[in-house]
Amino acid sequence: MIWIDYTIIGAYLIGLLAMGVAFRHQRNSKDYFLGGRTIAWPALALSVMATQLSAISFISAPAFVGLREGGGLIWLSYELALPIAVLLMLWRLLPTLHQSGVISVYDFLERRFERSTRLLISFVFQLSRSFATAIMIYAISLILQGTMGLEQWHSIVLIGVITLIYSAVGGMKAVVFGDAVQMILILAGALTCLVVALDAIGGISSALALINPLRFEAVNIDTYGLAGNDFGLLPMLFGGVVLYASYYGCDQSEAQRSLSAHSVKDLRKVMYTVAISRFPITLIYCAAGLVIGALVMQSPELQAQIPADQPDWMMPVFIVNYLPPGVIGLLVVAIMAAAMSSLSSAINSLAAVTTEDFCRYKGHEPSDAEYMRFARFAGIGWGLATLTLSLFAGDIAPTIIEAINKIGSVFYGPVLATFLVGIHSKSITAKAANVGLMMGVFVNTFLWLSDNPIFWFWWNAIGFVVTVMSGLLANKLVPASNIPTPQPSFGGLTWRMIMVLVVWSLALLFVATNLSAWLS
């Protein structure tokens, strides 16, 4: 890297700080955490996609597809679940949360059940999100070491402090508009890498000839996820539906954007856009991974620069070796932008949950000034906590993208089940819901710690089923102290949306099933 690369990076970081200052005026909690519900839905849609199609996807999805042993386009099976998950979310879940007027989605559970349910599920969210974010920051710090030559703690400080300032000062508006810019940068970066890699390898025909045909397989119907990480279609579909629905609908870091929509109509537009757009974007990441992976396998020099058993280094090594000055700076900005997108979302959502859960309680309603002061301190506190955890984060799976989803798979099924039972059941009590949630998390934690051969994608569905069954059983056995009146639920689907998403899901399945034949 030369001076022009560092100039681009510096200008971008200064721009982020300026944006945070520009959005610094917030009058109350809805302004700070929901942007006053005045943010345009296209910006929210970009922000939703940027948070998950982040640095992890930019770096680790290509590494999984191009270099990981047993990897390839099989990762696309996961994407087939999204349209069905969106149907599940828009069938009452997200519209109900939006119409309830809550800032923390877990506030809804207190209204439906009692405060113990809210605090329990809030603890589960804060635990899983802080560790997942720490792993992400740790991973990106390693990438910046490879591209910029920084020490690990320098990288963490550079990413963390800038993000902490602009997200804590600017609130949700700074987060959303920062994400929108970062999504554009990420996509441009992936396309640039794909084009440069194709030129370096000699074009599309040369790339297809060099890629291992096994990596073209996007659907595996021969295994069922009962003997380890075999990425069979069934666990990817069933587990993916639960994981996606829980992540986008019940995880505060994502659901907060849906709550920021001006209306349920705008909310539908946001999720509809995500359901249609995600697969083509992921396909670009995967295509870049296939081509760059083939290029690496043909170059002993590149292979020597990628540490053993760490395929996630593939993208930064390629960037440093093949992109010209200036473009490297833009790509490093794209990586940093993606990391900051995930971190800013996590900080803002963790602060929202903490502030709502601990600043507001029965008998105490803080003033707007007191609330805003607590919110900013909570954001700073969580930012420092995740940055500290990232210094000690270790490897959980062969690639970072697997590690992040593996952590989520422990918690997402039980969390989704608790929300859906609360919305759709009129009789289940708080005690029963709490028992179901704890049992679901306990079973999934046991499956992880016992090194069970069941593929971790199944944990999402297993946790969901265990939570529902345990809750229903406890509802029969444990006497109810009270049964709160269920909150009203609101539909968010139209027949046209249902048909489009079902047809889109079938079209994606057809494409994924035939990709291998088309490319071989």
Higher pLDDT, 186 or 447: 447
The domain segmentation of the chain, as residue ranges, is: 3-519
Residue 111's Cα: distance from chain center in Å? 27
**DSSP β-bridge partners for residue 93:** none
pLDDT for the residue numbered 437:
94
Residue with tokens 């995880």: 251
CA–CA gap between residue 199 and residue 191 (Å, rounded) = 12
- pLDDT tens column, 271-293: 989 899 889 989 999 999 999 99
pLDDT for the residue numbered 351:
75
High-pLDDT (> 90) share of the chain, %: 26
pLDDT for the residue numbered 357:
67
| 7-11, 276-280, 336-340: the lowest-pLDDT one | 336-340
Mean pLDDT of 91-119: 84
**DSSP β-bridge partners for residue 364:** 361
| Residue partners of 499: CB distance under 8 A and separation at least 6 | none
Residue 97 clears pLDDT 80, i.e. is over it: yes
pLDDT for the residue numbered 21:
61
CA–CA gap between residue 243 and residue 461 (Å, rounded) = 8
Mean pLDDT of 17-25: 59
- pLDDT tens column, 127-142: 787 777 777 777 667 6
Residue 438 clears pLDDT 60, i.e. is over it: yes
- Which DSSP letter does residue 324 get? P
* SS3 call for 229: coil
- pLDDT tens column, 376-415: 777 777 777 777 766 665 555 667 788 788 888 999 999 9
Q: Name the CATH superfamily for 3-519.
A: Sodium/glucose cotransporter (1.20.1730.10)
Higher pLDDT, 319 or 155: 319
Q: Quote the Cα angle for 32-268-83, to 5°.
A: 120
Higher pLDDT, 313 or 480: 313
Residue 41 clears pLDDT 80, i.e. is over it: yes
Higher pLDDT, 355 or 295: 295
pLDDT bracket for residue 487 (50, 70, 90) = low
Could you tell me if residue 149 is left (phi over 0), alpha (psi between -120 and 50 degrees) or otherwise beta?
Answer: left
Burial class (CB in 10 A: 0-12, 13-18, 19+), 155: buried
Higher pLDDT, 36 or 199: 199
| 59-68, 242-251, 348-357, 445-454: the lowest-pLDDT one | 348-357
Mean pLDDT of 183-187: 79
| 50-64, 70-84, 305-319, 414-428: the lowest-pLDDT one | 50-64
Mean pLDDT of 501-515: 91
Nearest to 237 by CA among 68, 60, 83: 83
Give the CA distances from residue 258 to residues 94, 355, 407, in Å, rounded to whole numbers and listed in that order. Answer: 7, 19, 23
Residue with tokens 């508006």: 173
Amino acid identity of 32? Y
| Entry field: residues in the chain | 520
Q: Which two tokens stand for residue 199?
A: 């030129």
Quote helix, strand, coil % in the chain, to nearest 5: 80, 0, 20
Name the most confidently modeled range: 6-10, 156-160, 192-196, 316-320: 192-196
pLDDT for the residue numbered 447:
92
Name the most confidently modeled range: 123-132, 205-214, 250-259: 205-214
